[in-house]
Structure 1
Amino acid sequence: MVAQGVLWILLGLVLWPEPGTASLPLRMEFVIQALGELEQKAPETEARSRASTWLLSSQDTGPHDSLHRFVLYGQGLKAMELDRHLLSTELRDLMERVAHHGVQGGQEYGVVLAPDGSTVAVQPLLAGLKAGLQGRKVVDLPLNSTGPLQDATTTFLDVGATAPEVRATSPRLTATSPDVTFPDVEAASPDTKATIPTSVDSLLAVTLAIDLGLTFLQGPQSHPGLGTEGCWDQHLAPQTFTLLEPKATPLTMAFLNGALDGALLGDYLSRTPEPWPPLSLLLSQYYGAGVAGEPGLRSNFRRQNGAVLFSAPTLAQQVWGALLLLQKLKPAHPQLQGMSQDQLAQMANHATKEFTKAFLECPAIHPRCRWGAAPYRGQPTPLKLPLGFLYVHHTYIPAPPCTDFAQCAASMRSMQRFHQDTRGWDDIGYSFVVGSDGYVYEGRGWDRVGAHTRGYNSRGFGVAFVGNYTAELPTEAALRTMRDELPRCALRSGYLRPDYKVLGHRQLVKTECPGDALFNLLRTWPRFASDVKPRAARRASWKPRREPPPILPATDPQ
């Protein structure tokens, strides 16, 4: 039971803030270090019931803490003693800073920088671990009770019958998994007369469902702040995280990352027989090479794995059920007071649709500040959106694919230096760059004219794969990002026209880019425009040029 006790102690240390201590960088590595330190010092005989009671008596989970208590453990819990010296002073200070998530004054609190370059909210991550260690449960909703609610009625979830298996050995969770298809959540809207939820899944309730529902109850039907990114003050020793959209909702990119990570890891723990792996090892693997050696089960692919873990209709039911439960637990809740079941059902459906379309179905894009972009030189030219083309490139140099954040970020900085300092351009030429680490890297972005396809820069977005694909292909995950995910989200956001076409760089400019192997595959894509020829091809003397010498990236003049 050591994993139970370690997590409870870690969360409970927020009771004893110690001002004036040195601040460790807000990095996931130090959260993992805190877990490891506790795993060495915590008593191995900590019983599950005592640990659960202690945690709930010591941690305030925020405005919906009553739902967390009811879903996971019930009420009427008594406080327990805690040895406050189980962690070093620095780690206690770190955990106090990150234990609660919030957005205030354009800054986000309770988040850390992960090794994959993503920013993760710690609170929903730990909530998922907590639910997983408790054993994923189905919690009956006390919708017909009239007096004060007592302990929840729970049954352990039959995961084999109700959810896809999420194990390190599951072929669904590999980086080369088949395309994920998303059900139409509108077509599967909850029917308030026939399918009112009678239970909630403890794991989804505490990680994602209740926050998703409450956030969409706060304001208008459209939420441009869903999944808002931000920038750290520095990368080696980050301390402050500033959001790119000052009016962002609490459902920031960091929160959604933490919620998905908590749901995935909690589900993994609930399926893993005791003794559980040390939590420090589990997180090290998940934010590293992959859990139990499976490269697909890691933070880089959280969105794909989240789509496997639950369907959109299932999540809509969970959001609806969580809102109904909180309404029963707190009848005077300002957002839920007077809301009918039908209204909550509609809101749950809308929230789930937005989350699915704007987050799960979209690629994860690291903003410029994350990879360390130098400032744009000069005055950028805005694009006239929407555009009609997506131009596919390969970088040629760097030739090897980049497979982790450090590699990909270094490649981006190298290309930008070459484009700015040697070519004399204003910025890196590409609109976006696709790595083999599961991420897209923002170049000039959606709004600025790039320098990627001479003569056509204002008519389409130039997107490059990192690597040389003359004789081989990018990973299936990277190809899926370019072919499906990036254009699908660009269409939904109004950046691409509905009739957009995909072209290889060589179709418009004298070049061998994007490489023979990649171009031959490109010709099989549904949106590929085979009848487009470069203007220079009309000259009989035209021959494709070879790529530049292997010391320079292959990008055409601005």
Structure 2
Amino acid sequence: MAGGHLCFLLVLLLWPGGSADSLPLLMDSIIQAVAELEQKELEGGPAASVRVLLSAGPPGGLPRFLRDSVSPGASPLDPDPLGAELRALVDRVAQHEVRGRQERGVLLAPDGSTVALRPLLLGLEAGQQGRRAVPLGDGLRPPGDTGGDTLAGSRNDSANVTWVGEQAEPPAAVDSLLAAALATELGLAFLHPRPIPSPPGLGSEGCWDRLSSPQNFTLLDPPTTPLTMAFLNGALDGVLLGEHLSRLPPPRPRLSLLLGQYYGAGVDGDPGFRSNFRRQRGAALISAPNLAQQVWGALILLQSLEPRHPQLHNRSREQLAQAASYASQEFTQAFLGCAASLRAVQRFHQGVRGWDDVGYSFVVGSDGYVYEGRGWHWVGAHTRGYNFRGFGVAFIGDYTASLPTAAALRTVRDGLPRCASRAGLLRPDYKLLGHRQLRRGTDCPGDALFHLLRTWPHFIQTVN
């Protein structure tokens, strides 16, 4: 099935409820803040609301090529146009940072994903200003001179885009949208002292203290890079929404409406244009060769703006190019690629078998990300006779002779049960089984994976 069969485990779960706090760290709370700013009709129009939210960060936090393009003569923003409660919320999440296992600056979105606010806002800001090509040789323009050409086309794969490699020429300009929301931080994460960097492990995941009123987000393991799953979700959302805004003629829609639609039923009524499909849409928008060029260009631009930057000081163009190449491959293959595999499974289950959706409760990709199938509250179609008694968790791949990635194994062994337990979804005495224990005639989940599964906590050998 889609290049390999799916094998799954069974996790028995229950779901009690939680409590509520005022102004929890929910995306809906930020949408409320944006709506309040829009009602004040600040000078500068819809763009002013994003500037107010970004101003909560430290001075100079906004990329210089975006700061310099603000319209000349614009009046200073009201230093406190928000009410006290919303201002306190914005101050908590305006900056993204990771300290140990605590991740700050993230929000719980209605689709269940965790999203970093700052890269989302940077993408919105770049999109509102019009997606621009920032010349590398002329990146420091005076305020009011936007410079460059307006970018058009979703994938931006023009004839002069070449793959980063030996004798490759750096791009002449950088896409302001990709540089602001994603490319710069992605490149910095792959700058290692070694000639060939090992993948830093994109997309660390974590748990909220409670789902009804989330206040704190704790990563499952200390991350090796600030590019957590929440950051990548926010960056991708910023790119998708910024690209959408850049295509719309003025007057553009209110951001509170756009965000409400994107994290709700779909932008302009399109159910395929919402946060649930961020990776699928991102894969259609971002190609690996162009992303490599953009990451390379973003690093060159940042190096010219901040020559003493600790990660860029004395770095050669070749070192920057190599980091950009690895970064683009890891992002497009590990982060975006798993979404395509799951869509193939979904098409098979819906189109061939005629089911309502993916039969499994959850599917785990090689990136370690958990994709929701039937989820917690719908009966699955994974193990005849046991669908009403448990939840099916599938790995993508054939694990007869090999094992899933370490990230995927950690997710199913530790991450998913731990998060479910902390959210009040997992019964402490749940039992863990392999498919072959409940269904005759199958080798699932594969010999290699099943032998490992037998060493995990909560595994039971005998089924009553």
TM-aligned CA deviation for residue 301 of structure 1? 0.7
| Counterpart residue identity of residue 149, structure 2 | F
Worse-superposed segment, 400-409 or 30-39 = 400-409
1:133 paired residue among 123, 128, 132: 128
Q: How far, CA to CA, are the matches of 2:184 and 2:87 in structure 1? A: 28
Query: Which residue matches 1:502?
Result: none
Percent identity between the aligned chains?
48
Work out whether 1:157 is the aligned partner of 2:164. no
Query: Which residue matches 1:264?
Result: 240
Q: How far, CA to CA, are the matches of 1:302 and 1:274 in structure 2? A: 25
| Counterpart residue identity of residue 377, structure 2 | A
Q: How far, CA to CA, are the matches of 2:413 and 2:177 in structure 1? A: 39
Inter-CA distance 324–251: structure 2 relative to 1 (3 Å threshold): same
Q: How far, CA to CA, are the matches of 2:165 and 2:409 in structure 1? A: 44
> What value does the CA root-mean-square deviation take over the aligned residues?
4.4
Query: Which residue matches 1:217?
Result: 191
1:411 paired residue among 365, 373, 378: 378
Based on CA coordinates, which of the two structures has the bigger radius of gyration?
Answer: 1
| Counterpart residue identity of residue 163, structure 2 | S
Inter-CA distance 215–451: structure 2 relative to 1 (3 Å threshold): same
Equivalences for residues 203-352 of structure 1 within 5 A: 203-218=177-192, 221-352=197-328
Query: Which residue matches 2:78?
Result: 83
| Counterpart residue identity of residue 156, structure 2 | A
SS of equivalent residue, structure 2 residue 434:
coil
Q: How far, CA to CA, are the matches of 1:337 and 1:232 in structure 2? A: 37
Query: Which residue matches 2:114?
Result: 119
Counterpart contact for 2:163–2:290, Cα < 8 Å: no
Q: How far, CA to CA, are the matches of 2:45 and 2:265 in structure 1? A: 32
SS of equivalent residue, structure 2 residue 127:
helix
Q: Structure 1: which 5+ residue stretches go unaligned?
A: 1-21, 165-186, 367-391, 435-441, 463-493, 497-555
TM-aligned CA deviation for residue 443 of structure 1? 11
User: How many residue pairs end up in the alignment?
Assistant: 376
Work out whether 1:431 is the aligned partner of 2:393. yes
Worse-superposed segment, 274-283 or 205-214 = 274-283
| Counterpart residue identity of residue 106, structure 1 | R
TM-aligned CA deviation for residue 46 of structure 1? 2.9
Q: What TM-score results when the alignment is normalised by the length of structure 1?
A: 0.58
Equivalences for residues 443-454 of structure 1 within 5 A: 450-454=433-437
Q: How far, CA to CA, are the matches of 1:241 and 1:414 in structure 2? A: 32
Cα shift readout 1:506-526 (whole Å, capped 9, x = no counterpart):
xxxxxxxxxxxxxxxxxxxxx
Task: Determine which structure has greater relative contact order: mean sequence separation of CA pairs < 8 Å that are 6+ residues apart, divided by chain length.
Answer: 2
Query: Which residue matches 1:31?
Result: 30
Q: How far, CA to CA, are the matches of 1:247 and 1:308 in structure 2? A: 28
| Counterpart residue identity of residue 340, structure 1 | S
Q: How far, CA to CA, are the matches of 1:189 and 1:260 in structure 2? A: 22
Q: How far, CA to CA, are the matches of 1:364 and 1:245 in structure 2? A: 27
Equivalences for residues 5-154 of structure 1 within 5 A: 24-43=23-42, 45-46=43-44, 51=48, 58=55, 60=57, 65=61, 68-71=63-66, 73=68, 81-142=76-137, 150=142, 154=147
Counterpart contact for 1:113–1:238, Cα < 8 Å: yes
Cα shift readout 1:174-232 (whole Å, capped 9, x = no counterpart):
xxxxxxxxxxxxx9632464521211000000000000001111576223531111110
Counterpart contact for 1:117–1:405, Cα < 8 Å: no
Counterpart contact for 2:206–2:220, Cα < 8 Å: yes
| Counterpart residue identity of residue 142, structure 1 | G
Q: How far, CA to CA, are the matches of 1:319 and 1:216 in structure 2? A: 10
Q: What TM-score results when the alignment is normalised by the length of structure 2?
A: 0.69
Inter-CA distance 215–158: structure 2 relative to 1 (3 Å threshold): closer
Inter-CA distance 27–306: structure 2 relative to 1 (3 Å threshold): same
| Counterpart residue identity of residue 135, structure 1 | G
| Counterpart residue identity of residue 207, structure 1 | A
Q: How far, CA to CA, are the matches of 1:335 and 1:444 in structure 2? A: 30
Counterpart contact for 2:128–2:245, Cα < 8 Å: yes
| Counterpart residue identity of residue 33, structure 1 | Q
| Counterpart residue identity of residue 189, structure 1 | W
Q: How far, CA to CA, are the matches of 2:155 and 2:435 in structure 1? A: 48
Inter-CA distance 445–340: structure 2 relative to 1 (3 Å threshold): closer
Equivalences for residues 356-395 of structure 1 within 5 A: 356-363=332-339
TM-aligned CA deviation for residue 363 of structure 1? 3.3
Counterpart contact for 1:429–1:444, Cα < 8 Å: no
SS of equivalent residue, structure 2 residue 436:
coil
TM-aligned CA deviation for residue 332 of structure 1? 1.1
Q: How far, CA to CA, are the matches of 1:124 and 1:330 in structure 2? A: 20
Inter-CA distance 149–97: structure 2 relative to 1 (3 Å threshold): same
Q: Structure 2: which 5+ residue stretches go unaligned?
A: 1-20, 343-347, 362-370, 397-407, 415-431, 451-461
| Counterpart residue identity of residue 155, structure 1 | G
Inter-CA distance 118–54: structure 2 relative to 1 (3 Å threshold): closer
Q: How far, CA to CA, are the matches of 2:437 and 2:85 in structure 1? A: 53
SS of equivalent residue, structure 2 residue 128:
helix
Counterpart contact for 1:34–1:91, Cα < 8 Å: yes
Q: How far, CA to CA, are the matches of 1:454 and 1:56 in structure 2? A: 53
TM-aligned CA deviation for residue 101 of structure 1? 0.4
2:176 paired residue among 202, 206, 225: 202
SS of equivalent residue, structure 1 residue 450:
strand
Query: Which residue matches 1:385?
Result: none
Counterpart contact for 2:136–2:173, Cα < 8 Å: yes
Q: How far, CA to CA, are the matches of 1:116 and 1:365 in structure 2? A: 20
Counterpart contact for 1:208–1:260, Cα < 8 Å: yes
| Counterpart residue identity of residue 208, structure 1 | L
Q: How far, CA to CA, are the matches of 1:460 and 1:219 in structure 2? A: 42
Cα shift readout 1:336-392 (whole Å, capped 9, x = no counterpart):
1111111110110011111111101013999xxxxxxxxxxxxxxxxxxxxxxxxx9
Worse-superposed segment, 256-265 or 34-43 = 34-43
Q: How far, CA to CA, are the matches of 1:100 and 1:190 in structure 2? A: 31
